[in-house]
């Protein structure tokens, strides 16, 4: 099975290789194409990934400058035409700054940069990203962010909940969700949200960090396997 | 002319940085400190000579890039 994936590079992106490894692993070794942020058109693709990092040095706000990059017009057109876009960590911040997902990512409530394992609960399974998991499944992921505190107004949060757009929530290893299991102050413990059409996913944790036993875990693998199953011809 | 754009987190949006500054001030012995909010100021040198147009331009810049109006509000002053 072969997936045509593209990874967008901004100045300061640093997680593109990990993402490429995860995508190649589930796609018969086919490497994703790397797309520089100054590009204005895209090759034919099944999936666009905005990977983690510190685009433009996190100046002004995380993702603010990247969201205005030339390539983002093409990424937005791709999504509006029904394309699949995955944003991880800084990629999630860019998607919110670009208005492609609602809400914003604020400074972690504890002000500390978090580089650690955490558990999250799968809240919905009707997307290519989440179909490989069971509803309510607890998976282990890696956090590596200073600004992962998800914020949206109450009406937006209620709408996201009502429409099943909360994809993942921070949880304890046994699956409880409470203030004690919330590492960064995110509203309602939200770790990731998905668009209404289930094609644009943004999440702060790094599923690409756990796709091989040598990495310490494989809990991220079902996400990438699901992407290939859903998209590869 | 110069436009000064002040960007602040909206009321109700948690400002952990402001809170940390408040705690530090209390540690230093300053009394009677209530809520502390931290924001940013962006100064723009503009070629425009009409104050009204300069303000409108700075507001457009704030809406598009300088502030994220989901979480922040801004104020423009032209000097």
Per CATH, the number for B2-78 is 3.30.1280.10
A111 touches chain B (CB under 8 A): yes
**Domain-by-domain residue ranges, chain B?**
2-78
**Mean local confidence (pLDDT), A124-130:** 97
CA distance, residue A214 to nearest chain B CA (Å): 37
- Looking at the predicted structure, is the pLDDT value of residue B35 above 90? yes
Tell me which of B14 and A224 has the higher pLDDT: A224
Mean of the per-residue pLDDT values of chain A: 97
Q: Cβ of B68 and A97 within 8 Å?
A: yes
Q: Does B17 touch chain A (CB under 8 A)?
A: yes
> pLDDT (tens digit, 9 = 90+) per residue, A185-216?
999 999 999 999 999 999 999 999 999 999 99
What pLDDT, on a 0 to 100 scale, did the predictor assign at position B3? 98
Q: What is the pLDDT of residues A53-99, one digit of tens each?
A: 999 999 999 999 999 999 999 999 999 999 999 999 999 999 999 99
Angle of CA points A33, A34, A39, to nearest 5°: 110
DSSP label at residue A211? S
Model pLDDT for residues A135-189, shown as the tens digit of each residue: 999 999 999 999 999 999 999 999 999 999 999 999 999 999 999 999 999 999 9
pLDDT at A232 (0 to 100) = 79
Binary contact (B14, A109; C-beta < 8 A)? yes
ipTM for the predicted complex = 0.90
CB proximity A4 to B under 8 Å: no
pLDDT of residue A233: 59
User: Are B20 and A60 within 8 A, CB to CB?
Assistant: no
Alpha helices in A90-215 (DSSP H): 90-97, 154-162
Q: What is the pLDDT of residues A110-121, one digit of tens each?
A: 999 999 999 999
Contact A108 B16 (CB under 8 A): yes
Q: What's the pTM?
A: 0.95
CB neighbours of residue A201 within 10 Å: 27
Residues of A designated catalytic: 89, 206, 208
A108 lies within 8 A of chain B by CB: yes
Q: Does residue B70 belong to the interface with chain A, where contact is any CB pair within 8 Å?
A: yes
Give the closest of B20, B66, B71 to A104, CB-based: B71
Report whether B28 contacts B13 (CB < 8 A).
Answer: no
Structure tokens at A18: 């990990």
Q: How far is CA B23 from CA A18, A71, A111, B28, in A?
A: 39, 42, 13, 9
A64 touching B (Cβ < 8 Å)? yes
Minimum CA–CA partner of B16 in chain A: A109
Position A1 confidence tier, pLDDT thresholds 50, 70, 90: low
**Is the per-residue pLDDT at B43 higher than 60?**
yes
Nearest to A107 among B17, B65, B70 (CB): B17
- When pLDDT is averaged across residues A42-55 and rounded to a whole number, the result is 97
Which pLDDT score, from 0 to 100, does residue A25 have? 95
Cβ atoms of A32 and A49 within 8 Å: the answer is yes
Q: What's the pLDDT at A2?
A: 81
């Amino acid at each position: 099975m072969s997936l045509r994936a593209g990874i967008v590079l901004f100045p300061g992106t640093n997680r593109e290789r990990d993402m490429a490894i995860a995508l190649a692993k589930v796609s018969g070794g086919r490497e994703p194409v790397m797309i520089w942020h100054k590009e204005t058109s895209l090759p034919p693709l099944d999936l666009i990934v905005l990977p983690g990092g510190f685009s433009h040095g996190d100046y002004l706000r995380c993702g603010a400058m990247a969201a205005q990059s030339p390539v983002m017009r093409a990424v937005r057109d791709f999504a509006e035409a029904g394309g699949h876009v995955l944003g991880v960590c800084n990629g999630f911040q860019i998607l919110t700054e670009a208005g492609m997902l609602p809400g914003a990512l604020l400074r972690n409530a504890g002000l500390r940069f978090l580089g650690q394992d955490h558990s999250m609960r799968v809240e919905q399974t009707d997307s290519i990203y989440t179909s490989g998991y069971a509803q309510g499944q607890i998976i282990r992921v890696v956090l590596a962010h200073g600004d992962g505190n998800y914020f949206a107004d109450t009406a937006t949060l209620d709408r996201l909940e009502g429409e099943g757009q909360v994809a993942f929530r921070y949880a304890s290893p046994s699956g409880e969700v409470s203030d004690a299991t919330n590492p960064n102050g995110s509203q309602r413990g939200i770790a990731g949200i998905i668009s209404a059409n289930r094609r644009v996913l943004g999440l702060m944790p790094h599923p690409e960090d756990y796709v091989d036993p040598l990495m310490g875990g494989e809990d991220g693998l079902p996400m990438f396997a699901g992407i290939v199953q859903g998209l590869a011809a | 002319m110069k436009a000064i754009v002040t960007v602040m987190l909206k009321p109700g949006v948690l400002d952990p940085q402001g809170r940390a500054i408040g705690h530090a001030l209390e540690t230093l012995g300053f009394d009677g400190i209530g809520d502390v909010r931290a924001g940013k100021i962006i100064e723009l040198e503009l070629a425009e000579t009409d104050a009204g147009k300069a303000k409108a331009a700075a507001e457009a810049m704030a809406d598009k890039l300088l502030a994220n109006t989901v979480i922040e509000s801004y104020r423009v002053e032209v000097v």
